[in-house]
Chains A and B, each alone.
Chain A
Amino acid sequence: MNRSTIDLWVGIFVAAGFAGLLFLALKVGNLATFSTDPTYQVQARFANIGGLKVRAPVKSAGVVVGRVGDVRFDNESFEAIVSMNLSAAYQFPRDTTAKILTSGLLGEQYVGLEAGGDGMMLKSGDRLRLTQSAVVLENLISQFLFKSAAEDKGAKQ
């Protein structure tokens, strides 16, 4: 095999290797989504964030509009502070509600945004006032048990 044929094959090999990496980056990974878009950051306080993780999606009407950038614990109010990086392409009113929701029964948790009616739009660094915490299964079950116990009592009387 002469030199130029070797060069050709090495060229094909290197190109294929980079194509594989590109495939991993664009098709498998989430490099294409929100890594280069300009974003603005808003914060929200939650009494309980459940299993929310950094890089979890922020969705509005089911569409991914941003990602969770940071999750911290506030030592004064004993609440969780969630910082969200929203894509600058999407603007939300200032009285937007943030909820922590679960996709499917066992799926990952995400932040759901519900737009309000305010004329002013959210700016970078703003805080969402209206929030709803994650549903904790244990609390739900204990509420249900207490309720059914109370109903039993009522029925006996």
Chain B
Amino acid sequence: MRMADLSARTARLRARLERLGSTVTSLVWRLGFASRFLVYMVLHSGTAFRRFRLTIAQVYFAGVLSLVIILVSGLFVGMVLALQGYDTLQRYGSSEALGVLVALSLVRELGPVVAGLLFASRAGSAITAEIGLMKATEQLSAMEMMAVDPIARVVAPRFWGGVISMPLLAALFSAMGIFGGYLVGVQLIGVDAGAFWSQMQAAVDWDNDILNGVIKSVVFGAAVSWIAVFEGYDAPPTAEGVSRATTRTVVTSSLAILALDFILTALMFTGGN
């Protein structure tokens, strides 16, 4: 009786361990496939640059159509930063440093990160759904039949379109946020405009702050586009599969952006000053 109970428990434990193991191996397997996919796509992206109109069309879909959400969110993020920052800074009698606070937090962190998160949910999900649906309706197989490589013709232009759009969107987000901070800080609250801009200019450095922000946004753009095209290409060719892949794109790329942001920040801003 006790022996049977024990063996049933070991069987349950074993089943649980096997499930855990298969989850881990399938994750590693997918990571390997995704890396192979990335290398193949980069090697076969000649078409995306030779027939640059393909990429331009994707810049339109990923970048231009994301402009409104990026600009409006940037404006509001900047305005909120100015309100919150002013509230804290005026306790220490240094409300002139508002420009520095708004500009540095936008250029270094919020610009690339929030623009990346918005880009992942606005453009990344669309790319995954589009490629996944193309696969489900066998358009990709049809291309292969016609000796057209679907990775070179469909996937690579979408990837490069995302990589090109993302830094521009992040720069616009930061610029719009600083404008929003100016609107609230100078026009609404009444911080001195000269101090706002001059302290900002004294504190924000081209190499250390702006270029690092651009590098971050390029990395985020590449990561989000890679995840989006891979999830689309790897999606099971069913309605449920495409919907799951779209969700996974948003979740994975948001996590990837935040994790990469930590790594990049740790690499860039440890010098002390």
Contacts and interface: CB of A to CB of B under 8 A. Distances in A.
B7 interface: no
A9 B35 CA distance: 33
Given A28-B178, A29-B201, A106 B57 contact: no
Interface string A84-113: 000000000000000000001111100000
B51 interface: no
Contacts of B93: 105-106
Interface string B177-221: 010000000000000000001001110111001100010000000
A28 B172 contact: no
A31 to B, nearest CB: 4
Nearest to A24: B210
B169 interface: yes
Interface of A: 3, 6-7, 9-10, 12-14, 16-21, 23-25, 27-31, 33, 35, 53-55, 57, 104-108
26 contacts: A3-B53, A3-B57, A10-B56, A10-B64, A13-B60, A13-B63, A13-B168, A16-B172, A17-B169, A17-B171, A20-B175, A21-B171, A21-B210, A23-B175, A23-B178, A24-B178, A24-B210, A27-B201, A30-B202, A30-B204, A30-B205, A31-B210, A57-B202, A104-B94, A107-B94, A108-B202
Interface of B: 53, 56-57, 59-60, 63-64, 67, 92-94, 103, 107, 165, 167-169, 171-172, 174-176, 178, 197, 200-202, 204-206, 209-210, 214, 273
